[in-house]
Amino acid sequence: MEKIKNIDKNILIRARAGDLEAFEYILSFYEKAIYNYCLRILKNSHNAKDVTQDTFIKIYTHRKLIDPEKNIKTWIFTIATNTAYDFLRGKKRKNEISFDEDNETILSFEAYYPQEGVVSDIDRALEQINQEYRKSLLLFYQQGFQYQEIADILDIPINTVKTHISRGKEQLKDKLKNYLA
């Protein structure tokens, strides 16, 4: 698993001051994580690309809010989550896709994971569980966040995060059983 580390404080200070090199460093550091997170939420590589781009442009626009003393990773993922929500709300308004979990457009995972053999059972099963549980699971396992950080990112209580992770794992277990059967 590619757990991402934190960025040096001096780079954050420079980025806050508008230094483009420092910003590019932050972009290079987190773009893959953000893109993968958006991809799992939006289930469409084109939309995930747009939302990732918008996320980093927002980060630059609001760079004055960067607090070098705090963990920027949580802040970046909060922006990404809100940008993805806004995107989905916009899509819902346009009736392009339904926001409702049951009617959600389920795209084949292979469609954006074209390399053969990359898609595992867990990847497929993840696509079929409740979206809220999936987000918590991804932030915890794929992105390596703590419970409190996930609670901050998703703006939900910490106990809800724990419940989502636990229920998400239960749902995953059921889905994986189906695959094995």
Partner 1 sequence: MEKIDEQLNSISFVEVPTGMHQFVMQKVNYKKFQPVLFVTFILLALNFIVIVWHINAKLIDAEFTDMMQDFLEIFSFNFSFINTVFVSFFEIISPLLVVSAILSLVGAIYTGKKINFYHFVQI
Residue closer to partner 1 (CB basis): 2 or 100: 2
> Tokens at residue 85, please?
């929500």
> Tokens at residue 81, please?
């989550």
The window from 33-41, 66-74, 76-84, 89-97 that contacts partner 1 (CB under 8 A) reads 33-41
Q: In the bound complex, what is the minimum distance in angstroms from residue 159's beta carbon to partner 1?
A: 19
Q: How many residues does the chain have?
A: 181
DSSP 8-state code for residue 65: G
The window from 71-79, 92-100, 152-160, 171-179 that contacts partner 1 (CB under 8 A) reads 171-179
Residue closer to partner 1 (CB basis): 52 or 81: 52
The window from 47-55, 70-78, 79-87, 145-153 that contacts partner 1 (CB under 8 A) reads 47-55
Compute how many residues bind partner 1; rule: CB under 8 A.
39
Outline where the chain has alpha helix (H): 9-16, 20-42, 45-61, 72-93, 109-112, 121-127, 131-137, 147-154, 158-180
Question: Could you say which residues in the range 61-100 bind partner 1, by CB under 8 A?
Answer: 61
- 111 burial level (CB within 10 Å; 0-12, 13-18, 19+): exposed
* Nearest partner of 51 among 64, 62, 65, 40, judged by Cα: 40
Q: Is 90 helix (H, G, I), strand (E, B) or coil?
A: helix
* Nearest partner of 22 among 53, 58, 59, 71, judged by Cα: 59
Question: Could you say which residues in the range 98-157 bind partner 1, by CB under 8 A?
Answer: 112-113, 118-123, 126, 137-138, 141-142
Q: In the bound complex, what is the minimum distance in angstroms from residue 28's beta carbon to partner 1?
A: 7
By the rule CB under 8 A, 49 interacts with partner 1 = yes
Residue closer to partner 1 (CB basis): 86 or 123: 123
Q: Is 116 helix (H, G, I), strand (E, B) or coil?
A: coil
Residue 138: other Cβ atoms inside 10 A? 19
Residues near partner 1 (CB under 8 A) are 1-2, 18, 20, 23-24, 27-28, 31-33, 35-36, 39, 45, 49, 52-53, 56-57, 60-61, 112-113, 118-123, 126, 137-138, 141-142, 169, 172-173, 176
